[in-house]
Chain A
Amino acid sequence: MTAVKHIAPASLPAPEIDDLNRPHWDGLLEGELRFQRCAACDHAWLPAREHCPSCLGNDVRWEAGSGEARLISWITYYVAFDPAFKERLPYIVAIVALKEGPRMLTNIVGIESEADLSIEMRLALAIEWEGETAVARFRLAGEKA
């Protein structure tokens, strides 16, 4: 997967990385979107948990996803709740469902306006860098990164 180098206009708040979710963020540094899967019942999810929310089992494994997803919903911010986002207005935050099942928050990048978006449309992972952090964003599927 291609990681698009991105010069940030202002540094964004860093994610809170701990032992539980580190594999997710480390995966992005290596170009992979990792999620958790339960070895007992096969349920897959994000964000990281210590147990399976479906069967409550503890045999939780990390797995790299295909990077394919569909758009569940999105919003466009016209107000910056944190000054770090002021120069990025308007920006889009979306909920996506990975092909493997887990849902996550993300940003949609590489579009002209939100008129290009509709629910259930296919998306592809586009990892971008914010300082030292690799962030999982998405672009429309079928478009070059």
Chain B
Amino acid sequence: MVEPGQIVIAGIGHTQFGSHEGRSTIALNVEAISKALEDAGIAKDAVDGLFVKYPTSQFQTIYAHKVAEAMGIQPRMCGVLDQAGAANISMIGYAAMAIEAGQCEIAVISFADNPKTGSRAASQRAMGGDSIYGWYGAAAGYAMIAQRHMQQWGTTRDHLGQVAVTCRTNGMANPNAQLRKPLTMEDYRASRMIVSPLQRDDCCLLSDGGAAVVVMSAERARIEGIANAVPILGFGQGHASWEVTQRSDLTATQASASARTAFEMARLSPRDIDVAQLYDCFSIVPLITLEDYGFCPQGQGGSFAADIGIGLDGGLPINTSGGLLSETGMPGLQLVIEAVRQMRGTAVNQVRDAANCIVSNQGGVMQTHATLIVGKAA
């Protein structure tokens, strides 16, 4: 069993977020990994576990091995996990279990993609055989969920807007954020409708870039003399599996199972959590995640945002570097990196005295989910 604090995140790295015209996803992975290894003070040859999420915009077989080849390493464990946006946190969990089981000692988890300057086909294709109904694009499934949530639970456009404005406000202070243009609630209300009820500012950015983290045992980090290693307190997964069309309840997901596993492992509960990085590919998602995680009852995510507060001065600050809506649209590893910065005390929007941070990753149309809880750096 992996005990809370037994495994740490010892290094973080990322490329610039935005456009990387002409650069391959392999090169972006290698840049992010090099920075993460430099941050940890670890030589590339010490890496014996390499876990990669394949670029969303273009599936390739044995992709992780191409990254390993580009790094000139021959790791003991190596491969890609296909869980869409949940993959990065899930791979951190698998790496932790592999390290505990003696299968590898120093693992790198990495992701890079270039959909902004490369191919956008993956985010715009027709879904299944349903193109005759006009069912296209990633936003549509989330819009179905948002509509049902608004109708069933009284969630309002302004509740969604609060997520968008909070993330943008946080991102404005982050020099690495891709979108830093101010966004007021008035701007949000006037934003262009894409697939109602979702407007442009409800939808995540399209971004090129890469990010990576280095994971090892706390013991190994001590031996290596790594300062600022951030302990992993808990992790978990949950998978709703059904396409949104077939899901019996559109407004709840298996994020609940994922969080329950992570909270039990960490021996914590929602009321113990100081800061959260909640996957915000679309504004409805953090609200439902707050509900599924037990921060509030089902349907009350909007009121939680309005009454308890999700801004830096709120009861539960979320997405302190801007999230997918402002920092970068890449699927999830940037949220883990921000959690590490919060626990090191080096975040741009540092939450004072934060002793822990919860992170959610999810994908498909809320079919996949993974949760990570980290604690204060040693």
Q: With a CB–CB cut-off of 8 A, which chain A residues contact B246?
A: 45, 103
Listed stretches B63-71, B131-139, B340-348; interface member: B131-139
In the complex the two chains form, is A103's CB within 8 Å of B245's CB? Answer: yes
Q: Is A111 an interface residue (CB 8 A)?
A: no
B367 to A: closest C-beta gap in Å: 15
Q: With a CB–CB cut-off of 8 A, which chain A residues contact B137?
A: 79, 81
In the complex the two chains form, is B132's CB within 8 Å of A133's CB? Answer: yes
Interface 0/1 of A100-129, CB less than 8 Å to B: 000111110000001000110000000000
In the complex the two chains form, is A106's CB within 8 Å of B147's CB? Answer: no
Q: Is A142 an interface residue (CB 8 A)?
A: no
Bound: A3/B62 CA distance, A: 50
Q: With a CB–CB cut-off of 8 A, which chain B residues contact A88?
A: 134
A29 to B: closest C-beta gap in Å: 14
Which residue from B128, B148, B244 sits with its C-beta under 8 Å from A119? B148
Q: With a CB–CB cut-off of 8 A, which chain B residues contact A103?
A: 245-246
Interface 0/1 of A72-92, CB less than 8 Å to B: 111111110110010010110
In the complex the two chains form, is B244's CB within 8 Å of A76's CB? Answer: no
Q: With a CB–CB cut-off of 8 A, which chain A residues contact B194?
A: 78-79
Q: With a CB–CB cut-off of 8 A, which chain A residues contact B131?
A: 12-13, 15, 82
In the complex the two chains form, is B195's CB within 8 Å of A77's CB? Answer: yes
Interface 0/1 of B116-141, CB less than 8 Å to A: 00000000101011111111110010
Q: Is A14 an interface residue (CB 8 A)?
A: yes
Q: Is A47 an interface residue (CB 8 A)?
A: yes
In the complex the two chains form, is A119's CB within 8 Å of B151's CB? Answer: yes
Which of A73, A88, A93, A135: most chain B Cβ within 10 A?
A73
Q: With a CB–CB cut-off of 8 A, which chain B residues contact A63?
A: none
In the complex the two chains form, is B143's CB within 8 Å of A75's CB? Answer: yes
Bound: A119/B145 CA distance, A: 12
Bound: A13/B137 CA distance, A: 15
In the complex the two chains form, is B134's CB within 8 Å of A78's CB? Answer: no
Q: With a CB–CB cut-off of 8 A, which chain A residues contact B129?
A: 15-16, 21, 47
In the complex the two chains form, is B133's CB within 8 Å of A106's CB? Answer: yes
Give the residues from 10 to 60 in chain A that come closer than 8 angstroms, CB to CB, to chain B.
Answer: 12-16, 21, 45, 47
Bound: A77/B141 CA distance, A: 12
Q: Is B152 an interface residue (CB 8 A)?
A: yes
Q: Is B144 an interface residue (CB 8 A)?
A: yes
Bound: A79/B376 CA distance, A: 45
On chain B, the number of residues with a Cβ less than 8 Å from chain A's Cβ atoms is: 31
Bound: A82/B195 CA distance, A: 14
Q: Is B2 an interface residue (CB 8 A)?
A: no
In the complex the two chains form, is A130's CB within 8 Å of B132's CB? Answer: yes
Q: A72-B250, A75-B144 are in contact. Are A105 and B195 (CB under 8 A)?
A: no
Bound: A15/B151 CA distance, A: 31
Q: With a CB–CB cut-off of 8 A, which chain B residues contact A15?
A: 129-132
In the complex the two chains form, is A13's CB within 8 Å of B132's CB? Answer: yes
Q: With a CB–CB cut-off of 8 A, which chain A residues contact B58?
A: none
Q: Is A95 an interface residue (CB 8 A)?
A: yes
Q: With a CB–CB cut-off of 8 A, which chain A residues contact B192?
A: 78
In the complex the two chains form, is B196's CB within 8 Å of A78's CB? Answer: yes
A15 to B: closest C-beta gap in Å: 5
Kindly report which residue of chain B lies nearest to residue A130, judged by CB atoms.
Answer: B132
Q: A13-B126, A75-B143 are in contact. Are A105 and B136 (CB under 8 A)?
A: no
A129 to B: closest C-beta gap in Å: 11
Q: With a CB–CB cut-off of 8 A, which chain B residues contact A118?
A: 151
Q: Is B193 an interface residue (CB 8 A)?
A: yes
A73 to B: closest C-beta gap in Å: 4
Which of B124, B129, B151, B195: most chain A Cβ within 10 A?
B129
Kindly report which residue of chain A lies nearest to residue B194, judged by CB atoms.
Answer: A79
Q: Is B18 an interface residue (CB 8 A)?
A: no
Bound: A82/B130 CA distance, A: 13
Which of B194, B196, B198: most chain A Cβ within 10 A?
B196
Bound: A133/B131 CA distance, A: 13
Which residue from B134, B148, B151, B245 sits with its C-beta under 8 Å from A77? B134
Q: A13-B131, A93-B133, A119-B151 are in contact. Are A82 and B126 (CB under 8 A)?
A: yes
Q: Is B299 an interface residue (CB 8 A)?
A: no
In the complex the two chains form, is A93's CB within 8 Å of B135's CB? Answer: yes
Bound: A95/B247 CA distance, A: 10
Bound: A13/B129 CA distance, A: 9
In the complex the two chains form, is B195's CB within 8 Å of A95's CB? Answer: no
Kindly report which residue of chain B lies nearest to residue A21, judged by CB atoms.
Answer: B129
Could you pull out 6 A-B pairs where Cβ atoms are within 8 angstroms?
A: A15-B129, A45-B246, A47-B129, A77-B195, A95-B244, A103-B245
A-B pairs, top 9 by smallest CB distance, nearest first, are: A81-B136, A76-B196, A73-B148, A75-B143, A13-B131, A119-B151, A16-B129, A78-B193, A73-B144
Interface residues of chain B, those whose CB is within 8 Å of chain A, are 124, 126, 128-137, 140, 143-145, 147-148, 151-152, 192-198, 244-246, 250
